[in-house]
Amino acid sequence: MAAADIHHRTPEFRALYQRVLIQLKDFVGTKNDVILISSSGTGAMEAAVSNLTSPGDRVLVLTAGKFGERWVSLAKAFGCQVETLSAPYGETFSIEEVRAKLKPDVKAVFMQATETSTGARHCVQSVAALTKEADALLVVDAITGLGTTQFDVDGWGIDVIIGGSQKAVMIPPGLAYCAVSDRAWQRMETTKNPRYYFDLRKERKSAAKGESAYTPAVALIAALGAAFDYIAAGAGGDIVAGRDALIHNAEVVAEMTRAAVQAFGLKLFAPTAPAAAVTAVYAPERTDSGAIVKGFKEQFAGVIANGQGEMKGQLFRIAHLGFFDYLDTIAMIGGLEHVLQPILGRDLLGVGLKAAQQVYAKRRGTSLTQLLESDHRCSCGRPMAECSPTLAVVGA
């Protein structure tokens, strides 16, 4: 980042920008154009709403947590008639309920791939199978999903999939990106909602010239390119293989974490559909989860997150994004044993660690395909392999 103080209307920047846009296609796994926006992920969420809807449009939001509720707020802010299908926090929707709510006049469906606030995974493939046959566009917030979860963006027909810079790609916040389908580009020809900074068609035109429409976060874009180089370097220079290694890592350390906290006798907040991006755990009874977050930070100078909104105090969350790897995860579990032992009042030393070690021993050396084809099941009930196929190399 420090080396990237270059002007954004120069050949140097254009070369960087074009390279990063190609890397983004590979990372997302799509032939669709990927648009890069200098904003947080919420900016790309707003872009999806403002570019794809007109006031009065009927839209369906699938919500089961804080980020699902953000779709509701955004769609209402842009004058949509919002239908919601809500699942309780920590759970996911039945595909039959989605089918029932997907009336012919629904113009777009908004959902999360993984709900960061609860640690639940939603089955994007199942929803995409419904929207593909309907007039509705499918918009997926995959801000914590990309790089932790497999998507066949073009094969399933995801119209807009959204990512951010600060999650699995491991750079500071400030960039969002979204891959946009032909169907979605066509919709933008007629939609009437106002947009200016987040005008996706304008960004697409500028990108064709190797530029951004407005002054971009140059240093972050350089960092994003460096992050993709790093991800690829770990897999023989292949960014797709590097991304799959990130996903494999997230799947394994998430499973280690679930095994450890269950060995402590704690309950997962999203047991039926746990995401690989983040694990949310109920605090022990009569314990404020803030005490666990604070104890861990004070003793080990490490970060475990509290619950968000009304879940604050009830649960704590452990991230598996980017290169939170085996070593980080084992260390975190070790520290957690010391923090939880006085709260639970029983000997935890080595208990979670052993459970996590056994998971790692079982999963190490597997390919991502083997991992997904093992005993994992998607929230929709199918084997995970069917909902998260290992993708062929796609992209530019």
Q: Which of 58, 338, 376, 377 binds a copy of itself (CB under 8 A)?
A: 338
Q: With binding defined as CB under 8 A, does residue 341 bind a copy of itself? A: yes
Q: Is 108 in the site for a copy of itself (CB under 8 A)?
A: no
Question: Min. distance of Cβ 306 from a copy of itself in angstroms?
Answer: 20
262 near a copy of itself (CB under 8 A): no
Site track 357-376 with a copy of itself (rule: CB under 8 A), x = hit:
xx-xx--x------------
Q: 159 forms bridges with which residues in the sheet?
A: none
Which residue from 155, 334, 381, 395 is in contact with a copy of itself, where contact means CB under 8 A? 334
Tally DSSP H helices, then E strands, for the chain. 15, 12
For residue 63, the SS3 value is strand
Cross-strand bridge partners of residue 180: 33, 160
User: Looking at beta carbons only, is 54 or 341 nearer to a copy of itself?
Assistant: 341
Instruction: Give the separation between CA 91 and CA 93, rounded to whole angstroms.
Output: 7
What would the two tokens of residue 104 be?
């012919």
Give min distance, CB of 354 to a copy of itself, in A.
Answer: 3
Tokens of 181: 């389908």
Span near a copy of itself by CB under 8 A; candidates 138-146, 168-176, 192-200, 332-340: 332-340
For residues 314 and 284, the answer to whether their CB atoms sit within 8 Å is no
CB nearer a copy of itself, residue 172 or residue 309 = 172
Q: Are 61 and 68 in contact (CB under 8 A)?
A: yes
Output 187 or 363, the one with its CB closest to a copy of itself: 363
CA atoms within 13 A on the CB side of 25: 17
Q: Select the residue interacting with a copy of itself from 272, 354, 370, 396 (CB under 8 A).
A: 354
Would you count residue 337 as binding a copy of itself (CB under 8 A)?
yes
- Contact residue for a copy of itself among 55, 172, 237, 350 (CB under 8 A): 350
Binding residues with a copy of itself: total (CB under 8 A): 27
Rg (CA), the chain: 21
Q: What residue type is 114 in one-letter code?
A: T
Residues 272-331 that bind a copy of itself (CB under 8 A): 299-302, 325-328, 330-331
In this chain, which stretch among 22-30, 73-81, 126-134, 354-362 interacts with a copy of itself, using CB under 8 A? Answer: 354-362
Token pair 């595909």: residue:
95
Structure tokens at 187: 């919709």
**Least separation, in Å, of the C-beta of 48 and a copy of itself?**
37
Residue 10 is a binding residue for a copy of itself (CB under 8 A): no
How far apart are the two ends of the chain, measured CA to CA in Å?
Answer: 25
Strands (DSSP E) found in the chain: 33-37, 58-63, 81-86, 106-112, 114-115, 120-121, 137-141, 160-164, 176-180, 278-282, 305-306, 315-319
- CB 277, CB 325: distance < 8 Å: no
Minimal distance, residue 249 CB to a copy of itself, in Å: 12
Which residues here bind a copy of itself, judged by CB under 8 A?
2, 299-302, 325-328, 330-332, 334-335, 337-338, 341, 349-350, 353-354, 356-358, 360-361, 364
